[in-house]
Amino acid sequence: MIEMDNKGCRELLIHRMTLAVITSIMLQLFVVCCVVLLTNLSTDYAHWLEETWTIIMSPRMWAYIIMLTLVTFLQSFFCSKNYLRPPLYYKSRFAKLCMTLRIQSLHQRAFYIAIGGILVWLQLSLRKESSSTTDCSIVYGMYSIEEYYFLLFSGLWSGLYFSFKIDTFAEKYFQFPIIAQSKFLQLRRRFYIMFPTLMISSLWSTLYFMAIYYFMGSYFHEALLSFSTQVEVKPLDTVSRLLNLSLIWQLWLYQFIFMLIINYTNTLFEIYLTEWTPFKFGLSGAYTPDSSETTLIDVLSMDKIPIMQYLGYLDLVTLAQKDKMRRSMLFTLSQPGGHPYNWNCVVQKSTNLLKKFSLDLNAISTKSQDQSCYSTLTARVPPVQQSKYIYHMRKLVPDIAPIPVSEDVREAPYSGSFIQKFIKQKKDAFIAYLLSKPLINYIFGEQDDNKIRYALQNGQLMIWAAEAISSLTVFSLSEDSYGIVQKDVPVIINTLLSVKQALDKLSKSAMLARKMQADDKLIREIFISLRSAIKRSLYRIVTNFEPYINDLSLELPIIEQLQSFLNYKE
């Protein structure tokens, strides 16, 4: 489904996605059997069960199974794209709109519309005596032609509503279970969480479709009159006909089943793909694309396949806290007197990941402070006629251009770099002028909220990286017989402190305060969990290395920052 150089990685993902598809088909067949049982409800229980069994074992049911399998495989293809590709960053609302209008995005929306219509059509075909040309009298289990197409088009509407209600093109956050549980327990817990939400969402979808049909149903009724003579005289787009409880129940049921099947498939993919997998250590830390076996060092480098990188750090934090035998393998040398390749690669990749994360947070906080300072200054200082002062402040030292070298005096004004720089300055000034307009900035301006969300979307990786290297550092006091970890303890402490400072700076910025006030549950949970994990990691190292703090060759400002942890004041 995607290009993967490593054979072991490809086999692992294909195996898990295949199991997710098979489980999804089995659950959907169970749901369909329950629907057939409910829709053919009768007071004659023996006849009811016999009729239901006949429908389930009929050739129509087997045709339904084949069609459902094809639909599920198509849905699994789009699920794999969402789970296996790196998340995209939408700089502005216009960029997000352009992304939703791409051919691939339109194909995905069309797929959901088609699958909604196909599911309703298959479920209607399993009803007893159902036909698009039945008698006009409404009997239980029988439809008029307009009611049949009314329910059929409601399936298309459910796909359209779902494609706009659920932003399938947004960043995908991997939800790993906090406590290791079986797949059945995870699925049951997810079902209890999503069931009330799906009921309410399908109810709103039903009400919207009934309202649309009430205003647009006359055009549909006239179109049916031109193609069929069996339409009843009284149209369906009336209040009395639309408020038929049996029709509303069937309409809501098909909306609910569609959303349940789509969410169940996505949930099963997430449950299977996020299952913990132990990876082996290689002889070296180099990435080996020709190897048939995926090592832990390999998956820690797979930032192009996010789910594999998540599984790698999940295995790293698991062995760091629970697996003594594998930790001993990590603390060994490649050969007597050799280098600790595995440890060097693990600590390098983990610290680099945390350093990059802290740099991204500092960039967001710095820009937020610059914008707030600029807005404060422009609000307090009245405008002046002369525009030669930056930020409307008087400059005590005039700007003096540096004197160029004599041999470059003739070439600088005419060089291509000067012309390009001049054009770029004019272009940036023109763009800045356009973005100063509120409406243009709303559509084309960069959203600060998206920056925070995009930066914190890998918060789980940062939590695992910090927990892993801090736990390994602590266990090295008793298990590292070669002393290979001691040389990296100052780097680990400095990295964790830099992440803590970046998080503290971001928490004080007005940007995150607005995001917190907007009740963004995901951002709030990731941010709070990340701050707690960083502090917990620092406490873990400081409390165990307290007798050796002065022997770690730490700088004086770093030791002063660690005093709050030594005194338990953080």
Residues 216 and 331 in one domain: no
Tens-place pLDDT, residues 271-288: 998 899 899 887 644 444
In a domain, 434, yes or no: no
Q: What is the pLDDT of residue 368?
A: 59
Helix (H, G, I), strand (E, B) or coil at 131: coil
- Provide CB contacts within 8 A for 216, sequence distance 6+: 237
Q: What is the pLDDT of residue 536?
A: 94
Residues 240 and 108 in one domain: yes
Long-range contacts of 236-243 (CB under 8 A, 24+ apart): 236/144, 236/146, 236/147, 236/150, 237/213, 239/214, 242/210, 242/213, 242/214
Q: pLDDT class for 181, splitting at 50, 70, 90?
A: confident
Kindly report whether the global pTM for this prediction surpasses the value 0.85. no
More confidently predicted of 537 and 247:
537
Residues 101 and 195 in one domain: yes
Taking the alpha carbons at both ends of the chain, their separation in whole angstroms is 47
Q: Which residues form the domain of 186?
A: 9-273
Weakest-pLDDT range from 20-29, 163-172, 543-552: 163-172
* φ, ψ dihedrals at 281, nearest 5°: -95, 145
Q: pLDDT class for 540, splitting at 50, 70, 90?
A: very high
More confidently predicted of 512 and 97:
97
Helix (H, G, I), strand (E, B) or coil at 316: helix
Q: Would the pLDDT of 480 be above 60?
A: yes
Q: pLDDT class for 497, splitting at 50, 70, 90?
A: very high
Per-residue pLDDT, averaged over 148-160, amounts to 87
Residues 258 and 300 in one domain: no
Q: pLDDT class for 492, splitting at 50, 70, 90?
A: very high
Per-residue pLDDT, averaged over 369-373, amounts to 55
More confidently predicted of 82 and 308:
308
Q: pLDDT class for 6, splitting at 50, 70, 90?
A: low
CA dist., res. 446 & res. 441, Å (int): 8
Residues 306 and 269 in one domain: no
Tens-place pLDDT, residues 192-232: 888 898 999 999 999 999 988 888 877 776 766 665 555 55
Q: Would the pLDDT of 87 be above 50?
A: yes
Residues 267 and 168 in one domain: yes
In a domain, 159, yes or no: yes
Per-residue pLDDT, averaged over 54-77, amounts to 80
CA dist., res. 466 & res. 470, Å (int): 6
Structural domain tally of the chain? Answer: 2
Residues 188 and 234 in one domain: yes
In a domain, 311, yes or no: yes
Q: What is the pLDDT of residue 473?
A: 94
How large is the angle between the packed helices 489-508 and 459-479, nearest 10 degrees?
Answer: 150
Q: What is the pLDDT of residue 286?
A: 45
In a domain, 515, yes or no: yes
Residues 530 and 481 in one domain: yes
Per-residue pLDDT, averaged over 395-424, amounts to 53
More confidently predicted of 40 and 231:
40
- DSSP state, 446? P
In a domain, 121, yes or no: yes
In a domain, 483, yes or no: yes
Nearest to 523 by CA among 535, 511, 515, 531: 515
Residue type, 411: E
Tens-place pLDDT, residues 92-150: 778 778 877 777 778 888 888 888 888 888 778 776 544 444 443 333 344 567 787 88
Q: pLDDT class for 465, splitting at 50, 70, 90?
A: very high
Q: What is the pLDDT of residue 141?
A: 43
In a domain, 313, yes or no: yes
Q: pLDDT class for 508, splitting at 50, 70, 90?
A: confident
Residues 248 and 334 in one domain: no
- Provide Rg for the chain, Cα atoms: 31
Weakest-pLDDT range from 299-303, 335-339, 515-519: 515-519
Percent of the chain with pLDDT over 90: 16
Q: Give the 3-state secondary structure percentages of the chain, helix then strand then coil, rounded to 5.
A: 70, 0, 30
Q: What is the pLDDT of residue 372?
A: 52
Per-residue pLDDT, averaged over 83-95, amounts to 77
- Ranges of H-type helices in 381-447: 416-435, 438-444
Q: Would the pLDDT of 315 be above 70?
A: yes
Weakest-pLDDT range from 174-178, 415-419, 537-541: 415-419
Residues 249 and 317 in one domain: no
With contact defined as beta carbons under 8 Å apart, do 354 and 306 qualify?
no
Tens-place pLDDT, residues 105-114: 788 888 888 8
Decide: residue 280, CB within 10 A, 0-12 exposed, 13-18 middle, 19+ buried: middle
In a domain, 441, yes or no: no
Residues 345 and 226 in one domain: no
Residues 336 and 248 in one domain: no
